[in-house]
Amino acid sequence: MTTKYSVEVEGLGKHYRAYERPLDRVIEACSLGRLKRHREFWALRNVDFRLASGASLGLIGANGAGKSTLLKVLAGITPPSEGRLRINGRVASLLELGAGFHLDFTGRMNIVSNGVMMGFTRREMEAKMDEIIEFAELGDYIDQPVRTYSSGMGLRLGFAIAAVVDPDVLIIDEVFAVGDMYFQKKCVDKIYSFKQRGKTILFCSHSLYDIRQLCDEAIWMRNGLPAAVGDSVTVTNEYSAYPRDHIHDYAAAIEAALPDSTASDLDPAVRPHVVDARIYRMDTGEETYDIEAGVPIEIRVWWRNPDPARTPIQFGIGFLRQDMTLCAGTFTHFDGVEVQGREGCAVLEWPNNTLLSGQFLVPVIVFDGSGVHRYEEHMLKTNLVVRSTTKEVGLVRMDHRWRFDMDRPLPEPQGDDAEGA
């Protein structure tokens, strides 16, 4: 390994022993390892990356993907089972409450012990003591045992130590879910100041927005393995477009996301139904289910209605995110469109497709003439994958513009505000 990088990782892996029952652990220990009663569980494997000084790396992925395990190995809390790593410079880590703290020590004592573990002398930490206590804002609790602290107080102490000792490499797990808004802003401002001063940051978060804004590069962890490595915008967009395994019950999802219905008692032979439905690039014959954000598309629906005089119909098409949020939808009866004939192809054109990065279920609903009861719920066999290359956030791209009016006066107070004025 060379020394021009702040963090160097090669083939890093971490496994744990999993036992079926506690007795198996005893049997294996008593046999001095001759009787193997465990299986190896790899929480982390085949991780490779190099991070230059001043760069920032984000870690994303589902719970249990190996993100926190990787940070613990990098922070020196747990040793790797395979591979090599080198961190050049002083390291500070903010992981879960209690990592690096002795719970029976007071906050003041933990400041000294944490500093010593980072390579400072006791005298150096005592010189920084007042500055750390001021940043943490713990008051008299600084002389109480850490076990009496709330999670927010533990975060304050941990971040105050990291902020004041000014490490070369800062490792942060998703810790900003605790603490008040004022302190969260204080922490974020400090992290940005680290970044501006050329410090190296490793940041784990479920917030793709934070990863895109704070990090230059990102790693998407899946099942303990790196699924994608690259610039933060590309990796986060790939992650948001990846299919989630927990979506199975399409019918239940549609029931929850679309208007109520009652079961049709029509004979299947005369019931209106969808013959086929597919997605195309608009005005072309190119069928597609993987597009860039903003690409115009059209959904073509071939249908059959044996008795339109008796069973007039309407169509609805929706776009559901994988957590079953209805992101967009439209209906012929909302648009004043009349469906006529026994069969044909209905085409929904979307020239200004505004969907951002994600994977979307696309149901086609056949309603009765009133648009209330449903004859059929037809789910396209292939989901629509939309990929973005920008930092835009949310489900859809806003059609918007900004302007500034410096001369516009404040509006007059209304209601309770007017009475108190």
Domain range annotation of the chain: 5-240, 250-387
Predicted pLDDT of residue 248: 42
13 forms beta bridges with 82
The Cα–Cα gap between 107 and 111 comes to 6
The Cα–Cα gap between 1 and 83 comes to 12
The CATH H-level superfamily of 250-387 is: abc- transporter (atp binding component) like domain (2.70.50.60)
Is pLDDT larger for residue 78 or for residue 242? 78
Q: Percent of the chain beyond pLDDT 70? A: 89
The Cα–Cα gap between 408 and 121 comes to 59
Predicted pLDDT of residue 316: 93
Whether the CB-CB separation of 364 and 329 falls below 8 Å is answered with no
Contacts of 14 (CB under 8 A, 6+ apart): 42, 43, 44, 45, 69, 70, 73, 78, 80, 81
Question: Which is it for strands 82-87 and 5-19: parallel, antiparallel or unpaired?
Answer: antiparallel
Tens of pLDDT, residue by residue over 339-379, are: 999 999 999 999 989 999 989 999 999 988 888 778 888 99
> Is domain 5-240 classified as CATH 1.10.10.10?
no
pLDDT band at 266 (very low <50, low <70, confident <90, very high): low
Collapse the DSSP code of 252 into the 3-class scheme (helix H, G, I; strand E, B; otherwise coil) and give the result: helix
The Cα–Cα gap between 70 and 50 comes to 14
The single-letter DSSP state of residue 149 is -
* Per-residue tokens: 47: 């991780």
Collapse the DSSP code of 349 into the 3-class scheme (helix H, G, I; strand E, B; otherwise coil) and give the result: strand
Of 6, 58, 54, 8, the C-alpha closest to 231 is: 58
The single-letter DSSP state of residue 150 is -
Tens of pLDDT, residue by residue over 87-139, are: 988 888 877 655 568 888 999 999 998 888 877 889 989 999 999 998 888 88
Predicted pLDDT of residue 98: 52
The Cα–Cα gap between 56 and 200 comes to 6
The Cα–Cα gap between 220 and 232 comes to 10
Does 246 have pLDDT greater than 50? no
Predicted pLDDT of residue 412: 86
* Per-residue tokens: 20: 């079926």
Q: Which residues of 99-110 are buried (b: 16+ CB within 10 A; e: fewer)?
A: bbbeeebbbbbb
Q: pTM score, two decimals?
A: 0.71
The Cα–Cα gap between 212 and 207 comes to 9
Whether the CB-CB separation of 215 and 172 falls below 8 Å is answered with no
Predicted pLDDT of residue 31: 82
Maximal CA-CA distance, the chain: 91
* Per-residue tokens: 381: 């066999």
Collapse the DSSP code of 160 into the 3-class scheme (helix H, G, I; strand E, B; otherwise coil) and give the result: helix
Q: Percent of the chain beyond pLDDT 90? A: 38
